[in-house]
Each structure stands twice: as C-alpha cells, then as structure tokens.
A and B are shown apart, each in its own frame.
Chain A
C-alpha cells in the first residue's frame, strides 16, 4: 500500500500485445518500403536513422526523474514538472548543440547533441537539489527503493512523514543526465538525417545551389526534428503515466512498449518528412 492510498506499485509492466506488435512491424515495413520506393537507398537509410532517433528519445524519457505536482509539495521525489516537457527541454537543448556542430561531421554533431541534453539535465537536477536543501531544508529520499543503487545511501529514515519521498537522490540525478543525453542524441540524429535528405533534394527541385537552399533545409529539418521529438516524448509519457523516479523505478521496466510505439510512430511520421518534397513535387 503506498502512502498515496493506491494499490501496491508493481510497476504496471504490460508486455506489448501480439496484435500491436504485428501492426507495428507491418507499418514499419510499409514505411521502409515507401522510403526506398520514393527516395531510394538514401531514403531508406534516413528512415532507419529517424526510427533509431525516435527509439532513443522514447527510451531516454524513461530515465528522466519526474515527480509532477506531488514533487512540487515535497510529497514525491523527482523534478516538479511534466515528463514530456522536461525531456523536450533537454532534448531540444541537445538539438541546439547538435545542429550547431553539424558542419563538423556526423559523429561530432551527435556527440554535441548528447552532451547538450545531458548538460541541461545536469544543471537542472543540481538546482532542484539546491532548492530542496537550501530553500526548503529537505534531504533527498527515494520512495521506490530503500537504498541508492550507486551511493548506497539509505532512504526510509530520511523520508518525512506522510510522503512518498522527496528531492533527487543521486541515482535520479544520473538517470536525468542519461535521459537528457539520449534525448539530445535522438533529436540530433533525426535532424541530421532529414537535413541530409533535404540538402540533396531541394537543389534539384528548386534548381538552386546547396548554399541557396541551406536556410530552407535547416528550417525544415529543425521543425520536423522538434515535432518528432515532442511526439516520441509524449508517447513515452503516456507509457509512464504520471511520475517516474528514474532507472531504479519499477515503472522503468515498461520501456519496451514505448520503444515499439516510438519506432512505429517515427516510421510513419518519418515517411511524411522524407517524402515531403516528393509530395510537394506532385502538386
């Protein structure tokens, strides 16, 4: 029985249904086939990149410790905001860094995106503990585990009466940074794949040079990357339902379902992004 009066928290792990799995596989295969048919091998590679990016985002969101409204009253551990919102903040900051580093090559841009997302989360999580400790006089305590898996700190005696725990234990801090880094990595990967596609297609369609279409290609790729980031983050947030403490939370085990859903959603949304210019060309 939890302090919130709900049933014992089993984590609510539900494996994906056979029907859902079959539908997802069919949709992904159809999207990949369409990508190959419309933009040949480059389209296929780009869509695979987008699917991997989407999966990284959805998986990363599960690491981010989010406590929602109860965290704002010191009633539950985590950061006092929404799952999708915080992940989006971190991932988009990563995308900012990744897009900036794009001219230096694929690997540098991806690493730049991951570090950018991780950095936002590192600073935010530290400031959350600063406020809890120096503003409210409350030490960090997890409600889901008795001991921090990294530091070995015990929590039950540091949990104030009538609450589920509070603050950000170190394992949640680490989870936040990993989540931000995975989000930044995924968002940047989607951006780079789309940028590559648009930079190849736009000069042909508009009969212009790569330099002339650069701003259009960057804007389009950026907007689609932001859109797909939000889509995958929200999908993962639905899977989490409310709050999560990080990788040590039983809810973390739910991630396979979100990963499959994100792969399918990214494939379907990705085919529209990749074939956008083909569709524009038709009209």
Chain B
C-alpha cells in the first residue's frame, strides 16, 4: 500500500513537471516561431510584409526537443555517473543543452532571415540579441522539467530505459503535444489577430500577418506574452495529462492485475472520446453554421 501511495506521489509530481514543461515548450516555440505558423512568418516578406518576428524553424518541435532533452538527459546521466548530486547533474545537463539550443536558434534565425534578403527583409541584430536569450530561458525550463521527470520515472518508478533514451522518447512526445495544441492558437489567434474571430483564416489572407503592436512594431516577445495566456497552459495540460495517465494507470492498477493498466487505459481513452464528442457537439450547437446547409462541393 505504501508503495502505491509513494507511486501516486511520484506520478503527481511527474505530471506537474510535465505540465510546466509543456507550457514552457509551447511559449518557447511561439517566441521562436518554431511551430507550423513559421510558414507564415517566412511567407510574409515574400508577400511584401516586412516584419520583426523571430523565426528559428529549421526543425520541427518534436525532433528539436528530442535532441535537446536527450542531450540534457545524456549529460545529466554522465554527471550522475561521476557521482554528482542528481539535482545538480540535471541542472548542469540542461544548462549545457540550452547552449546548443541557443546556437541552434541563432544560426536558424540568421539563416532563415538571410534567405529572405531578395524580398527586402532585414536581419535585425537587436531582435537576435533580445529574443534568443528569452527562448533559451524558456527552453531551459522545458528541458530541466522533462529531464527531472524522466529521472523520477527511472529512479522512483523503475522504468528500464536509460535516462538519455527516455529523454529522447519524452522530448519527442513533448514537442508533439506542444505543437499540436499550441500551434493553432499562435497561428490563427495571434499572427492573424485582425481576421474574424470564430472562423479559419481565408487562404487569400496568407502571409498578411499582424506586424504592429500597441506601440511600434510587434516582435516575438509580444507573441510569447499572448500565447502564454492560453496556448502555453493548454499545451502544458495536454502533456501533463499524457504523462499523468500514462504513469497513473501503471502505478495504481498493476498491483491489482497485470491487465489492469491496459483496461484502465482503454477506459480513459473512452472517457476522452466522450469529452471530445461533447465539445464538438457543443460547438456546433452554440456557434451554429456559417452558411445554410448545402451539398458538398467535392
């Protein structure tokens, strides 16, 4: 019984760490325009809209976070093998991984923006100086919490994978959850804030991103401020729920039966199916159709 209570505590802690990781990951990727909305940041100057938005999208979020978290986890693992205290080892490993992220962000911004020279888009050095450190700070939070979570899974819950491999697995899952949940909010609600609320962005508006803020030109720090209100926390809840349910069903129900975690997993999936269907029907009822029903054109 005590073991289960301990396991539940660790599960809750890992879920909380994952929630922070998801929120930091999405905010970091939105400041750097690393998710799918980067296409609009890249497209805008080609359509004549010169902007001051940071853009470091030379890899998708999942592989990028797979790399950084695996790197942080691998270095932490090496430090722990050198008998360094685990907390210090995770901090050091994450800090070193963040330097790689910083180099990546710098070269990616310079490379992506320089490629737009023929459309008149300048490389703003002040943007590079002020944004890179902010993305690094958010990345540190995301990497540290994910590596700490992986360490808990091994040290306290006894997962067989070594720390770097677990870092790769959960780094990719973190990027997948963060980009899936946070990207639409950043892409539609922020980049196209001038478009109508409650409708998709018409394809004809592509590239016409919002470039002006309350005072002066908008930059990516404004975007981070905006997406930290909903996109980031929602990504955090998404990743937190994934980690929590993945651990909880095993920690609690494995004692009852070896099939327990599987049955509970299926039940949780069905519960989410009901929630999803409820949300879908709720939206159809409350928002209503855009036009009168007609036959599909395709």
Q: Which residues of A approach B to under 8 Å, CB–CB?
A: 2-5, 8-9, 68-75, 79-82, 85-86, 88-90, 92-93, 95-97, 99-102, 104-105, 108, 111-112, 115-116, 118-120, 122-140, 143-146, 151, 153-170, 173-174, 177, 214-215, 218-219, 222-223, 226
Contacts and interface: CB of A to CB of B under 8 A. Distances in A.
Contacts of B237: 127
Contacts of B205: 162
Contacts of A132: 184, 283
Given A69-B37, A119-B245, 15 more contacts: A72-B183, A73-B206, A74-B187, A88-B62, A108-B262, A111-B259, A125-B276, A131-B181, A135-B231, A136-B185, A156-B297, A162-B204, A167-B280, A168-B276, A222-B165
Interface string B237-267: 1100110011001100000001101100110
A233 to B, nearest CB: 10
A238 to B, nearest CB: 15
A104 to B, nearest CB: 4
Contact of A96 (B166, B179, B188, B279): B166
B198 A108 contact: no
Contacts, number: 307
- Residue of B37, B61, B182, B184 with most partner-chain A CB within 10 A: B184
A138 B188 CA distance: 11
B181 A127 contact: yes
A135 B183 contact: no
Contact of A112 (B60, B201, B204, B262): B262
Interface string B276-298: 11011011100101111111111
B224 interface: no
Interface of B: 35-40, 60-63, 159-162, 165-166, 168-170, 172-173, 175-177, 179-189, 191-192, 197-206, 230-231, 234-235, 237-238, 241-242, 245-246, 249-250, 258-259, 261-262, 265-266, 268-269, 272-273, 275-277, 279-280, 282-284, 287, 289-298
B279 A133 contact: yes
Contact of B293 (A99, A119, A144, A156): A156
Contacts of B197: 136-137
B37 A145 contact: no
Contacts of A174: 273
Contacts of B266: 115
B173 A177 contact: no
A140 B289 CA distance: 11
Contacts of B159: 96, 99-100
A73 B200 contact: yes
A156 B283 contact: no
Contacts of A75: 200-203, 206
B189 A136 contact: yes
Nearest to A125: B276
Nearest to B37: A72
B277 A80 contact: no
Main secondary structure of the interface of A (DSSP, over half): helix
Contact of B200 (A9, A74, A129, A177): A74
A136 B184 contact: yes
A93 B170 CA distance: 7
Contacts of A161: 199, 202, 290
A155 to B, nearest CB: 7
A83 to B, nearest CB: 10
Contacts of A116: 246, 265
Contact of A80 (B170, B187, B289): B187
B175 A85 contact: yes
Contacts of B297: 156
5 shortest A-B CB distances, which residue pairs? A89-B176, A162-B202, A74-B200, A146-B296, A72-B187
5 contacts: A85-B175, A89-B172, A96-B246, A131-B184, A133-B279
A170 B235 CA distance: 21
A122 B242 CA distance: 9
B263 to A, nearest CB: 9
Contacts of B230: 131, 135
B36 A80 contact: yes
A160 B36 CA distance: 20
B203 A3 contact: yes
Given A3-B203, A156-B294, A226 B168 contact: yes
Given A85-B60, A135-B234, A144-B298, A72 B261 contact: no
A129 B172 contact: no
A73 B262 contact: no
